[in-house]
Amino acid sequence: MAQASAVLKPKSHDENINIGLDKAYRETMAESLSQILAATYRLTIKSHVYHWNVVGPLFKPLHELTEEHYGALFEAADIIAERIRALGHLAPATLGEAAGFAPKAADVGKFTAISMVNDLVEDHEHAVQTMRKAAEDADEAGDVVTADMLTDRLTFHEKALWMLRAIIAE
């Protein structure tokens, strides 16, 4: 059995990469993108859980917005993971911490629509901060592909923040 897992384990093609980005940068950026991927999954899961469980006068707009968001976030996860691979590193193979991404079941029943939005805003803001730093690093390294991808992701998250805040504005 150990032989089969060794044969099937994906290998990094890091040693053979010559794309104009040095090895240390690619390793650091792959780590940053892995953190961004985890944040993306966290938001995907939370958006989906809140989509199912929101109640009250904000139900319809928040139900529709979270559906739009979790769909876009799920697609983004693939794009981020593929960039990690293009940099010569393995995308995270396990999401062992995924159980911690979702809000606790006991809490969801107590959350109001506004507290759900505030929780999503906090996670989007954290993601934006992480992405902005990674985008700056990519720019400095001349990694226009990663910088462009992160610009697209930042655009999505900043628009999501605006829309979430608008839903709960008084």
The model's pLDDT over 128-158, given as tens digits with 9 standing for 90+, comes to 999 999 999 999 999 999 999 999 999 999 9
Quickly tell me which residue has 């809140």 as its tokens. Answer: 50
Using CA atoms, how far apart are residues 14 and 16, in angstroms rounded to an integer? Answer: 6
The number of distinct structural domains making up the chain is: 1
Using CA atoms, how far apart are residues 156 and 147, in angstroms rounded to an integer? Answer: 14
Q: Which pTM value belongs to this model?
A: 0.84
Q: Which residues contact 142 (CB under 8 A, 6 or more apart)?
A: 20, 21
Q: Which two tokens stand for residue 80?
A: 């981020």
Task: With respect to residue 14, please indicate whether it lies within any of the assigned structural domains.
Answer: no
Q: Answer yes or no: are the C-beta atoms of 44 and 32 closer than 8 Å.
A: no
Q: Answer yes or no: are the C-beta atoms of 58 and 168 closer than 8 Å.
A: yes
Task: With respect to residue 76, please indicate whether it lies within any of the assigned structural domains.
Answer: yes
Task: With respect to residue 158, please indicate whether it lies within any of the assigned structural domains.
Answer: yes
CATH of the domain at 55: 1.20.1260.10
Task: With respect to residue 2, please indicate whether it lies within any of the assigned structural domains.
Answer: no
Give the pLDDT of residue 100: 57
Q: Which residues of the chain have pLDDT under 50?
A: 1-11, 14
Give the pLDDT of residue 90: 86
Q: Answer yes or no: are the C-beta atoms of 38 and 130 closer than 8 Å.
A: no
Task: With respect to residue 162, please indicate whether it lies within any of the assigned structural domains.
Answer: yes
Going by the DSSP 8-state scheme, the letter that residue 56 receives in this structure is: S
Domain interval for residue 100: 21-168
Task: With respect to residue 154, please indicate whether it lies within any of the assigned structural domains.
Answer: yes
Quickly tell me which residue has 């992480």 as its tokens. Answer: 130
Using CA atoms, how far apart are residues 118 and 127, in angstroms rounded to an integer? Answer: 14
Q: Is 56 left (phi over 0), alpha (psi -120 to 50) or beta?
A: left
- Interior CA angle at 94 toward 92 and 98, to 5°? 110
Task: With respect to residue 138, please indicate whether it lies within any of the assigned structural domains.
Answer: yes
Q: What is the secondary structure of 108-148 as a DSSP string?
A: HTT--HHHHHHHHHHHHHHHHHHHHHHHHHHHHHT-HHHHH
Task: With respect to residue 7, please indicate whether it lies within any of the assigned structural domains.
Answer: no
